[in-house]
Structure 1
Amino acid sequence: MNATQTEWLVLGLLDALISLTMIGAVFLAPKHLLFGLYVPEADRGSAEVGRIRGRHYGAMVAVWILGLAVGATVGLWSGGEWAEGSPEAAFGAALVIQIGGLIPVWRSGRGQALRLKQARNWSAEKPSKIVIDLLFRQRQRLVGNGWFFIHLAIVLVCAASAALHWDVIPDPVPTHFGISGGGRRILA
């Protein structure tokens, strides 16, 4: 596997990780909210709410696949062949399509949720009494501290990858490039 193919693989895996994170973030949303709107307890398991969430999941996956297809097409078109394509162009095009596609998908889901709220006359419950609680913020947190281990795992995977591929990393690293593209000062 040459450097270009490795770059295709790494950027493809990075795009898959970003896309799956965007799709998976929807599953972390609390059940009492639907696109930022409060859903009463009685309607949280209703077919209409499930249909809106299901359409959103399907649209997210479709946007992800469309972004991958456009990215692969742009990447291969810019180089002509698998080993000569431009993975940077592919990654950029895929992210533009995927992140740009989130906007209309979210707006569509929000519009459906607003129509359902209006049809069902939803409103948020008002608390009957207010109690001072020092642990209130801790209980209101949507994401627990354990989710930050994902970030630690990514750093550890990158460090392990650098350790495994240490022989591939060049010893002399140019720190400044001249107008002709050659390195001027070498840091060893």
Structure 2
Amino acid sequence: MAAIIFIVILFFNIAIQAFLPKFLKESEVFGVYIPDTHVKDQRIIKMKKRYTTVVSMVGLVVLTLFIGYVLISSPPEQQIVFWGLAAQIGTVVLSMGLYAKNHIALANWKKEEKWTSGQVERKVVDLQFREQLKLLPSMYFVLPMLLTVSLGIYGLSQYDSLPDQIPTHWGANGEADAFTEKSWLSVSSLPFMTLVLQGMLWFFNRAMKQSGAKIQVRHKKRSREQQLAFRKYSSWLLFIVTITITLLMGYLQLSIIFPETMSTSVTMTATIAFLVIILGSVLFYAIKVGQSGTRLAVSHFDERMDGVIDPDDDQHWKFGLFYVNKNDPSILVEKRFGIGWTINMGHKTSWIFLLLIVGSIVLVTTLQ
């Protein structure tokens, strides 16, 4: 079963990484802002195609080798996990290496050929944008958190009847394969970490409302409609992830409280269902919505404006991946290379948020 899980995840990662340029805005290529005057540059089109071809071909070779290794050698689960992780890391390293090469080449072309020279940069501000957002209300995220708190309290109330060894990890076959001594911390660690994840997703949903809208100056109506839809779909994706995590972690918590009723087949089924829902939702999100809603059909089309471009904020994007702008009040910003959102590393709240997440994980792992 571990082999099947790793094969599915590896195939999913290869597909997303290979076709990622097709899901992004034409004006943001390999982390570099491209003005409208150059989005149809044949060099850029060939660069994106070459990236997709190389990642796809190498990824399929890696996937084929991994499947062949599993079928021919019938290795134990530990080796499947090791080589499965190695294959995942290898494909990521490959795609990021190609990204780095293309990012540097594009940045040099843009600088040497002065793509933005002679054009006026103009930022569009829509004061009514936030009022028309259709994000899910916070209650959708708070209720699962209350359920997790209730399960945590119930688990502590059953402390005396719990086994002396508390499971902390479950293998791909649904069996617990790591344990720790029973303590108040070990009993409550799973609900606590679930609560941390739920809180993170709730925070993202709220932060999206405060994030500045990237409305294109040459396509105001179209990009505005896409931005509204993009955030609505993003909110729903966060909610689906929240519910899925809550159900899986809740089941595992109940299996700790009632170990005699635990079924490895149910645990395995729950894990597979979790992966299918999460990966399926992300895939739908990427294909249907695309980054910034660029794949969504809209009803508005604008007349083009010559000599005017969107603000070139490359200086705030470190290597096209990390956004650092202390003058931007947005905590969350749309990714330039990838689907979804990233945090503004120039905002102090972002660092507080990261410290809380990392601190929570370190606290639980060190005290268990």
TM-score bin, normalised by smaller chain: 0.5 to 0.7
Aligned counterpart for 2:40 among listed residues 30, 45, 56? 45
**1:135 corresponds to 2:129:** yes
Query: Helix, strand or coil for the counterpart of 1:57?
Result: helix
Partner of 1:113: 106
Partner of 2:233: 146
Query: Cα offset for 1:31?
Result: 0.8
Query: Cα offset for 1:58?
Result: 1.7
Partner of 1:81: 73
Aligned counterpart for 1:168 among listed residues 242, 260, 265? 265
Query: Cα offset for 1:121?
Result: 1.5
Aligned counterpart for 1:29 among listed residues 24, 42, 47? 24
Amino acid paired to 1:146: Y
Partner of 1:99: 92
Amino acid paired to 2:265: V
Partner of 1:155: 244
Unaligned runs of 5+ in 1: 1-5, 171-188
Q: What's the TM-score once normalised by structure 2's chain length?
A: 0.35
Amino acid paired to 2:26: K
Q: What's the TM-score once normalised by structure 1's chain length?
A: 0.62
Are the aligned partners of 1:70 and 1:93 in contact in 2 as well (CA < 8 Å)?
no
**Closer, same or farther: CA 15–150 of 1 in aligned 2, 3 Å:** farther
Query: Cα offset for 1:66?
Result: 4.4
User: Aligned-residue CA RMSD in angstroms?
Assistant: 3.7
Instruction: Give CA deviations for 1:65-95 in whole Å, capped at 9, x if unaligned.
Output: 344255457x54xx96236573212211111
Q: How many residues align?
A: 155
Are the aligned partners of 2:66 and 2:84 in contact in 1 as well (CA < 8 Å)?
yes
Amino acid paired to 1:103: M
Structure-2 separation of matches of 1:130 and 1:82: 59
Amino acid paired to 2:7: G
Q: Name which structure has the greater RCO, CA cutoff 8 Å, separation 6+.
A: 2
Instruction: Give CA deviations for 1:13-48 in whole Å, capped at 9, x if unaligned.
Output: 122123323334332221111222222212212211
**Closer, same or farther: CA 99–39 of 1 in aligned 2, 3 Å:** same
Query: Cα offset for 1:56?
Result: 1.7
Query: Cα offset for 1:49?
Result: 1.5
Structure-1 separation of matches of 2:19 and 2:99: 14
Are the aligned partners of 1:71 and 1:92 in contact in 2 as well (CA < 8 Å)?
no
Amino acid paired to 1:168: S
Percentage of identical aligned residues: 10
**Closer, same or farther: CA 31–16 of 1 in aligned 2, 3 Å:** same
**Closer, same or farther: CA 16–33 of 1 in aligned 2, 3 Å:** same
Are the aligned partners of 1:52 and 1:112 in contact in 2 as well (CA < 8 Å)?
no
Amino acid paired to 1:39: I
Partner of 1:182: none
Unaligned runs of 5+ in 2: 131-210, 215-226, 252-262, 268-368
**Closer, same or farther: CA 148–19 of 1 in aligned 2, 3 Å:** farther
Partner of 2:139: none
**Closer, same or farther: CA 48–125 of 1 in aligned 2, 3 Å:** farther
Amino acid paired to 1:135: F
Structure-1 separation of matches of 2:80 and 2:235: 29
